Amino acid sequence: MELRAMKCPNCSGDIKYTPGKAKAVCPYCDSQIQISMTAEEREFERDTSRLAHNRDKYFKDLKIWRVIFYISLPLAVLSGVLLSLSDSAFLGLPAIFFIFAASPVLRLAAPDIPKDLEGELSKKERPLKKGALYGIFIGLVLLGGVVTGLIKDDSKPEEGTASSSAVSQADS
C-alpha cells in the first residue's frame, strides 16, 4: 500500500504514514498524531482482515485434511495385504473401499479454496485432485498385495525341493 503524507500540526514537518494506522509519529519533533481513517481505509482494513482470516482458516483446514490423507495411506496398504492374504471375499472389502470410495470421500472432505486465494496458491498449497487420489490408493492397495504375495510365495517350500532330495537319496 502506498504511503500518504501530511503536515505535523506542531512543527509543520512532513510526515509519511501508512493508511489504516491509528497513529503517526513526526520524525522532526516526535509528536504523536492521531490519524482518522477514511471510509475507504476502514473498508480496506476490513477486507484485509477478512482475507487474512480466510487464508488462516483455509490452511488450518488443509492441514487437518492432510493428516487424514496421510493416515489413510497405510490403511490402503493394509487393505491390499488383507486382500492378498484372504481366501474369503469379506476381507477384500477394505481394498474395494479404498479403491472406489476413499478417493472421492477424501476429495469431498478437502477444504474449498477461497475465491480471493485461487490465483495465489501454489500446487503444494492445494489438496490433491480426485484422479491423483485414485492413482495413489490403487497403487498402494496393489503394493500391499504384491509385497504380501511375494512374502507368501517365499514362505512356501518349493514343490520340486522335496522330490529332488528323495530322488537323490534313492540314487545313492
Instruction: Specify the pLDDT at position 7.
Output: 87
> Which one, of 91, 93, 90, 95, lies nearest residue 80 by Cα?
95
Instruction: Specify the pLDDT at position 67.
Output: 94
Q: Centre a 10 Å sphere on the Cβ of residue 69 and count the other Cβ atoms it contains.
A: 17
Instruction: Specify the pLDDT at position 88.
Output: 67
Helix (H) or strand (E) holding 45: helix 39-85
Instruction: Specify the pLDDT at position 31.
Output: 86
Question: Is residue 103 a contact partner of residue 79, using CB atoms and an 8 Å limit?
Answer: no
Residue 86: all three cell numbers together: 484372504
Instruction: Specify the pLDDT at position 59.
Output: 94
Question: Is residue 89 a contact partner of residue 156, using CB atoms and an 8 Å limit?
Answer: no
Instruction: Specify the pLDDT at position 123.
Output: 86
Angle at 157 between CA 155 and CA 163, to 5 degrees: 175
Instruction: Specify the pLDDT at position 164.
Output: 47
Question: Is residue 5 a contact partner of residue 14, using CB atoms and an 8 Å limit?
Answer: yes
Instruction: Specify the pLDDT at position 66.
Output: 94
> Which one, of 50, 68, 51, 76, lies nearest residue 110 by Cα?
68
Phi, psi of 25 (to 5 degrees): -115, 130
Instruction: Specify the pLDDT at position 20.
Output: 64
Q: What is the pLDDT of residues 27-69, one digit of tens each?
A: 899 888 887 767 776 787 788 888 889 999 999 999 999 999 9
Low-confidence ranges of the chain (pLDDT < 50): 162-168, 170
